Structure 1
Amino acid sequence: MQQYKKNKNLILFLTLSLSVGGTGCTLQRMVKTAEKGQQITVEPNPLAASGQNVNFELKAQVPEKLIREDEVYKLDVYYEYGPQQQRENIGTYNFSFGEFLYEDKKPTITKQLSFPYDPAKAKGRLMVQGRAIDKEDDDVAYTDPKQVATGINTTPLLLVRSNEFTFTNDKYSETADGPGKLMFYFEENGATLRNYLGSNLQALEQYALDNVPEQKIKITAMQSPEEKGSKLAAKRAQELEQYYRQKVKALDYSGKKVEITTEVKESPLAALAEKVEASALPKEQKQEVQAILESDRSQQQKLQALQQTAANGYLQQYIYPSLRAAEVEINYNRSRKPDYQLYLLAQKIADEEVTADVLTEEELQHAATLTPLLAEKRKLYEAAVKTTDKWPAYYNLGVVYNEMARKEYRKEAKKALLEKAIQNLTYAGFRNPTAKVYYSLASAYHQREEFLEALQYYDYAIKLGGEEELLQRIFADKAALEIEIGQYDDAIESLKYAGDSYQTNMNLGLSYLLKENYEGAEGFYQKALEQQPDDGLAYYSLALIGARTQNEQMLEQNLRRAVNADKTLMQKAIDDVEFEAYRDKPAYKDALIR
């Protein structure tokens, strides 16, 4: 009996040993199969920074033998950088049934991956490491780590953008008695007021509530030339007049005298000509449109001819919608207090020592301009928001938060300040949807790296229309954003309307460089240097073209000029993967000696 027990225990021990040994052997065989047969493809390689992220596609193919019932093969993707070989995990590919596709009869997974960009990561390595895992007992065997991409190409970050916006023009001293203006936009062929956020109806109702002796209101309505019916503008004016009179009747208890006059712009083609002249269209396209409008053809023939022009897309998207509108102008007669009195009263309002009605909206806004300190400006504009609920107060408070964010070096604190700027600029946009307000909102989103929202508001700002200089700035920063997200063709299209500025030429140069049109890129960088001689970034960009085209003389001359113009570019050149093939060549070394 004892012999039987010994034999039984021996059999059990051998069985367990074989089982453990079998699992270990299986995992090791999987690891060796993976190391020998897996194929990893990374695009782009080297990796490239895009905005504040590094985006890339990683495709992994493994041998069919790694797909098993009792074991699973996984592939970890990570980035390794810095003196301490810091590891940043990016993702894991799981080669289980249902999580891969077959390509060329091989299990394949392709994913778009990304990780945050930081200058410290510029000289790192993209790594993969496989894991063979036993599903029952979680035993693991690892492949050797493998480098699949080196460093980060930062050339896409060499763009120029402005995103500069400032406080509303303070014309209180000159225009204390000036009119207020509200714009209302209508659906195509429609005259119904739209009660949505940003429609200005709420602001109009505030005027109906104002406790003033009298109001003189002028409504000027228009329509776009392609709309049906000749009386549409008149209907829009009538709709606004009736709406306002109803609101005064319902909301006003002061018995103020209200006088309303209406005016209809009878010639939509004349209004169209004015809008075209003030648009961001290139000079040649403006001339083409104006020539058609000034011809002796009928209105219908002119509209048909405009559809064949290069400007037609711009007209349809940005100009025609802005003509389906009516402007309401309200005139007040108010007295003006001395600046010192305004400032003292505004501080008391902010500290809740006096009631808000001791100052008008314009007086409180003006008081905030009398101090250079952002903390005091914020306090006064917050009081203006609380007491007036008007768009300039929200807008200027948003500008204050944006200026505070520009001075903030801590990333999370900066984002929090920009979030407050966005909140207030959004309220300003609801009350006064103009190109200026929505450009500032787009810029705040852009700085906060919320690119989709920024792009939407850039487009909205352009559609609202404005002065040519403002529209060109909007298109220029919109193009910068499009470069950041890799939409180079869209950026080039936007830059057609951005004027002939340094920013425009630098970003056209970068767009062409990234599209590998090096001759075109060089031409734009040379134009930028004509506008800003000795610009280090322009020379550095020309050096990159020299590196990409194997023109060592071009590389050396421009890299030397870049470093002489901006000393910080020396360290950038040392870290830049674009110059990797030239590290030991005289052209590169001599340029950095200066």
Structure 2
Amino acid sequence: MVKVAEKHQKIEVQPSPLVASGQLVNFDIKGQIPKKLIKDRQRYKLDVYYEYDQQRESIGSLNFEFGEFIYEKGTPTINRQMSFPYSPKKEEGRLMVQGMAIDNKTGNTKYAAPKQIAVGLNTTPLLLVRNNAYDFIPDTYEEAAEKPATLTFYFEEDQAKLRNYIGSSLEVLDKYIADNVASQNITITASQAPNETGMAQARVKALETYYKNQLQINDYSNKKVNIKTEIEPENLELLQQKIQASALPKTDKQEVLTILNSDISVKEKLKALEKTNANDYLKQYVYPVMRTAEVTFNYNRNRKADYELYLLAKKIAEEKVPASVLTEEELQHAATLTPLLNEKRKFYEAAVKSTDKWPAYYNLGVVYTELARKEYRPKAKQALLAKAIHNLTFAGFRNPTAKVYYSLASAYHQRNDFLEALQYYDYAIKLGGSPEELQYIFADKAALEIEIGQYDDAIESLRYAGNSYQTNMNLGLSYMLKENYKGAQEFYTSALELKPNDALAYYSMAIIGARTQNEQMLESNLRQAVRADKSFTQKAINDLEFSDYRNKAAYKDALIK
């Protein structure tokens, strides 16, 4: 059986060489053996593994027994999609199979000689640029001590019902209602999307009624409460502000603004907007964030000295004093007074327990992210990122903003949970933000789409990502992977204008030279890449993109001179 299989078996792998994309190497494998090898008492099996750096990593197997294969033109055939994790040390490995004949009754096995079916990894799809940068909330304790705090509520279309699930702003509102303070000045402001009627007034009323009812039930301090209400009905000015701050291309933005500034009725304007290129963007990313209400509180708090805050925070973290000795803002500020991440972690954990508010969860999530970045052990790193995600998720429940959901998407992205990351990038965009915020969210969303092979989606996302270095680099990579080499070269050139002497841009242009058989382009750009960053010398030596040029002067001269 082994001899017949070795002589007549057919194994195909696509792509070949293998390609690393994101943190996985995905490939399709097809195996065929002669029909006469299909027997009741014996079976033939192909083990698939990857061999690198004197190591063998098992991937899977093709097991030719009934129920595991199909007949393709009379030949037993198995098609499988397989993958294995990428790491740089696997770039010079090879994909192998080893056949074996197994006696089903006795378990006796005869092995065939191992056979190479693909060599090395093409790592060009990994030449993308990611940011995923998010940091602690800026420490504005001193400046913010006298400033108001705001809770934001989001509503479904044509709804004024308050959402009371765990983690909603309503849960936090209850804590404000129960605050033991002398007085509260509260402003409730509600708005509605242009395609809604009367909802701003209804939302204000719903929040005011809820607050007054809960105050009667839960307030024992007899504090003085002054409630002011404001509404923004069918506010086209607000819509214009949202459009101005959106990531829409200039032409689409101008088309919408022209309609909004025209003399036609509101109803006619809405119908006209439905016919624009921006309509889908408006429905997904603009209208939902106009269906809101805000409750603003104005508190007067006294500030303690930094040394006192730090010492009290340490005692809270050690459970030597109750958390109530510091306010939320004081405890958060105390965490900024130490450079030690583990001490920050303890302070923010204490803040989470005592305040249950979004800044504590958010900053604790950032601490775990920073700890993960310093961790070299893969399993420990994944565990720290999981804790970051846990806390950032709770921050998102309490403060659903673009900033918070971008950080959550980035944490998932760094953990290689790509589907979850993509979902939260989308949430962040829908929540809206400044043009700069939206641009870097779209830019990292596009980087993720490149990693999962969705190049057309990445190009679409990059339409809204501005004219940054990252945008041009990832457009260049997307076009190169789609084999539009002229377009790719134009974007890499633009990236170099924004970041001169960039090694990665030059190296990418050298790959275009190799793919288009332009030896002059290969040589000049590879030389520039190596001059800018010596590490690209070894990368070029191992890179399969240059395998056809190993013995050519253009390649050798670029690495030497």
Counterpart in the other structure of 1:35: 6
Is 2:26 aligned against 1:59? Answer: no
Structure 1: which 5+ residue stretches go unaligned?
1-29
Q: Output the CA distance in 2 between the equivalents of 1:532 and 1:411.
A: 32
CA contact (8 A) 2:125 2:450 kept: yes
Please state how far the C-alpha of 1:198 moved relative to its aligned partner.
4.2
Please state how far the C-alpha of 1:415 moved relative to its aligned partner.
1.8
Paired residue secondary structure (1:424): helix
Counterpart in the other structure of 2:223: 256
Please state how far the C-alpha of 1:536 moved relative to its aligned partner.
0.3
Structure 2: which 5+ residue stretches go unaligned?
none
CA contact (8 A) 2:47 2:98 kept: yes
Counterpart in the other structure of 2:550: 583
Paired residue secondary structure (1:489): helix
Q: Deviations over 1:545-566 (max 9, x none)?
A: 0111111111111111101101
Alignment of 1:519-558 (within 5 A): 519-558=486-525
Counterpart in the other structure of 2:467: 500
Paired residue secondary structure (1:512): helix
Q: Output the CA distance in 2 between the equivalents of 1:138 and 1:267.
A: 76
Q: Output the CA distance in 1 between the equivalents of 2:369 and 2:288.
A: 30
Is 2:128 aligned against 1:163? Answer: no
Larger Rg: 1
Counterpart in the other structure of 2:17: 46
Is 2:235 aligned against 1:268? Answer: yes
Q: Output the CA distance in 1 between the equivalents of 2:356 and 2:501.
A: 48
Q: CA, structure 1 residues 245+152, in 2 after alignment: closer, same or farther (shift >3 Å)?
A: same
Paired residue secondary structure (2:60): strand
The one-letter code matched in structure 1 to 2:191 is M
Is 2:174 aligned against 1:224? Answer: no
Q: Output the CA distance in 1 between the equivalents of 2:166 and 2:523.
A: 56
CA contact (8 A) 2:193 2:234 kept: no
Q: Output the CA distance in 1 between the equivalents of 2:507 and 2:120.
A: 19
Alignment of 1:258-297 (within 5 A): 258-297=225-264
Q: Output the CA distance in 2 between the equivalents of 1:125 and 1:175.
A: 59
Please state how far the C-alpha of 1:219 moved relative to its aligned partner.
1.1
CA contact (8 A) 2:449 2:458 kept: yes
Counterpart in the other structure of 1:68: 39
* Pairing partner for 1:481 from 448, 453, 462: 448
Q: Output the CA distance in 2 between the equivalents of 1:64 and 1:268.
A: 73
CA contact (8 A) 1:221 1:237 kept: yes
CA contact (8 A) 1:198 1:433 kept: no
Paired residue secondary structure (1:72): strand
Q: CA, structure 1 residues 262+38, in 2 after alignment: closer, same or farther (shift >3 Å)?
A: same
Stretch deviating more after TM superposition (548-557 or 344-353):
344-353
* Pairing partner for 2:202 from 207, 218, 235: 235
Counterpart in the other structure of 1:204: 173
Q: Output the CA distance in 1 between the equivalents of 2:216 and 2:118.
A: 72
Stretch deviating more after TM superposition (530-539 or 213-222):
213-222
Q: Output the CA distance in 1 between the equivalents of 2:9 and 2:229.
A: 76
Please state how far the C-alpha of 1:567 moved relative to its aligned partner.
0.6
Stretch deviating more after TM superposition (109-118 or 331-340):
331-340
Counterpart in the other structure of 2:100: 131
> What's the % identity of the aligned pairs?
68
Q: Deviations over 1:319-372 (max 9, x none)?
A: 111111111111112222232332232223223333322221111111211222
Counterpart in the other structure of 2:274: 307
Counterpart in the other structure of 1:7: none
Please state how far the C-alpha of 1:397 moved relative to its aligned partner.
1.2
Structural RMSD (CA) = 1.4
Counterpart in the other structure of 1:320: 287
The one-letter code matched in structure 1 to 2:177 is A
Q: Output the CA distance in 2 between the equivalents of 1:504 and 1:74.
A: 47
User: Which 4+ runs in 1 deviate beyond 4 A?
Assistant: none
Q: Output the CA distance in 1 between the equivalents of 2:451 and 2:166.
A: 30
The one-letter code matched in structure 2 to 1:254 is S
Counterpart in the other structure of 1:347: 314
TM-score, structure 2 normalization: 0.97
Q: Deviations over 1:174-228 (max 9, x none)?
A: 121111111111111111112234431111111111111111111111111123x
Counterpart in the other structure of 1:12: none
CA contact (8 A) 1:472 1:498 kept: yes
Q: Output the CA distance in 1 between the equivalents of 2:331 and 2:167.
A: 23
Is 2:372 aligned against 1:405? Answer: yes
Q: Output the CA distance in 2 between the equivalents of 1:198 and 1:497.
A: 31
The one-letter code matched in structure 2 to 1:248 is L
Q: CA, structure 1 residues 102+300, in 2 after alignment: closer, same or farther (shift >3 Å)?
A: farther
CA contact (8 A) 1:529 1:538 kept: yes
Is 2:383 aligned against 1:383? Answer: no
Paired residue secondary structure (1:193): coil
Please state how far the C-alpha of 1:261 moved relative to its aligned partner.
1.7
Alignment of 1:156-195 (within 5 A): 156-195=125-164
CA contact (8 A) 1:222 1:266 kept: yes
Q: CA, structure 1 residues 198+489, in 2 after alignment: closer, same or farther (shift >3 Å)?
A: farther
Q: Output the CA distance in 1 between the equivalents of 2:314 and 2:38.
A: 73
CA contact (8 A) 1:179 1:329 kept: yes
Please state how far the C-alpha of 1:510 moved relative to its aligned partner.
0.7
Is 2:409 aligned against 1:442? Answer: yes
CA contact (8 A) 2:260 2:269 kept: yes
Counterpart in the other structure of 2:529: 562
Stretch deviating more after TM superposition (334-343 or 425-434):
334-343
Alignment of 1:329-348 (within 5 A): 329-348=296-315
CA contact (8 A) 2:198 2:233 kept: no
Q: Deviations over 1:424-463 (max 9, x none)?
A: 1112112111111111111111111111111111111111
Q: Output the CA distance in 1 between the equivalents of 2:440 and 2:527.
A: 32
Paired residue secondary structure (1:466): coil
CA contact (8 A) 1:156 1:514 kept: yes
Please state how far the C-alpha of 1:409 moved relative to its aligned partner.
2.0
Q: Output the CA distance in 2 between the equivalents of 1:249 and 1:111.
A: 65
